A and B are shown apart, each in its own frame.
Chain A
Amino acid sequence: MAASGEELEDEEYEALAYQQLLKAALHYTVGRICEKEGGESGLQFSRRFIAALTETTFKQCESFATDLELFAKHAKRTQINCDDVQLLARKSSALAAHIDDMSKEIAKAHEADKANRKTKKAKKSKPAQESAAVVEIEDES
């Protein structure tokens, strides 16, 4: 890398700097997650461990991104949506179930949002009934 330093063009430099920024952001959160995990178990994480885990996550992200892009492409879409992520989490059943639940929750929140907006548009014709219905649905889950 050092030898080709002069050959690197401005664009490549910029891309590299951008990557470093992203890695720094990733590193910070990985550190915090590890801190919490360490607090629960009473063990300390070495700095090298956190750096290595960050690097792993970054690489893993690359494979996630390629997969997501190809899933969306296969479905003849250019926008990645929840279904693609659900497909990405297929390898472990517990993880798949968790992601499934979360996507359902998000969908439900959207529906509640829509219902709220409709009631607002209807200028309080019967907002109390609708919002009560939404609360009931959420309670059932």
Chain B
Amino acid sequence: MDDPTFKLETVNKLLQQFFRDKQKTKCNGDAIKLMTELLRIFVAEGAARAVQQAKVESSPTVETDHLEKILPQLLLDF
């Protein structure tokens, strides 16, 4: 895959630190792969929607204002 994506190790540690039962809960290798893809899509989707919002407002750069506008729907979709 050419698309830039997260490192599996990063995703694993990120999830691990959020678990409530840190000793017991483990993550399968395949599950990590899927989670990495899910996170990549989340970020890419957020960026793409913000780009669209910036285009609608004919702004040359994508700013936090644009993120603010697309954030509610983005969070509802994930």
Q: Which residues of A contact B54 (CB under 8 A)?
A: 43
A137 at the interface (CB under 8 A from B): no
Which A residue's beta carbon lies closest to that of B23? A78
For B, the interface residue count at a CB cutoff of 8 angstroms equals 52
Q: Which residues of B contact A66 (CB under 8 A)?
A: 18, 20
19 A-B Cβ contacts within 8 A? A25-B6, A30-B43, A33-B40, A33-B43, A34-B47, A41-B51, A46-B61, A53-B43, A57-B46, A60-B75, A60-B78, A64-B35, A80-B28, A80-B31, A81-B28, A85-B35, A95-B77, A103-B34, A107-B30
| A49-B64 CB under 8 A given contacts A81-B30, A88-B38 | yes
Most chain B CB atoms below 10 A, which of A35, A36, A49, A88: A49
Q: What class of interface size applies to chain A in its complex with B?
A: 35 or more
Which A residues contact B (CB, under 8 angstroms)? 15, 18-19, 22, 25-26, 29-30, 32-38, 41, 43-46, 48-49, 52-53, 56-58, 60-62, 64-66, 68-69, 72, 78-82, 84-86, 88-89, 91-92, 95, 98-99, 102-103, 106-107, 110
Distance in Å from the Cβ of A124 to the closest Cβ of chain B?
Answer: 29
Alpha-carbon distance between A83 and B10 when the two chains are bound, in angstroms: 21
Apart from A15-B17, A26-B6, A46-B62, what are 16 other A-B pairs with CB-CB below 8 Å?
A22-B17, A43-B51, A43-B61, A43-B62, A48-B63, A57-B43, A66-B18, A69-B19, A69-B21, A79-B28, A80-B28, A81-B30, A85-B38, A88-B38, A99-B38, A102-B34
Distance in Å from the Cβ of A131 to the closest Cβ of chain B?
Answer: 23
Alpha-carbon distance between A56 and B67 when the two chains are bound, in angstroms: 10
In the complex, chain B residues 1-47 whose Cβ is within 8 Å of any chain A Cβ: 3-7, 10, 13-15, 17-21, 24-28, 30-31, 33-35, 37-44, 46-47
Q: Are B34 and A37 in contact (CB under 8 A)?
A: no
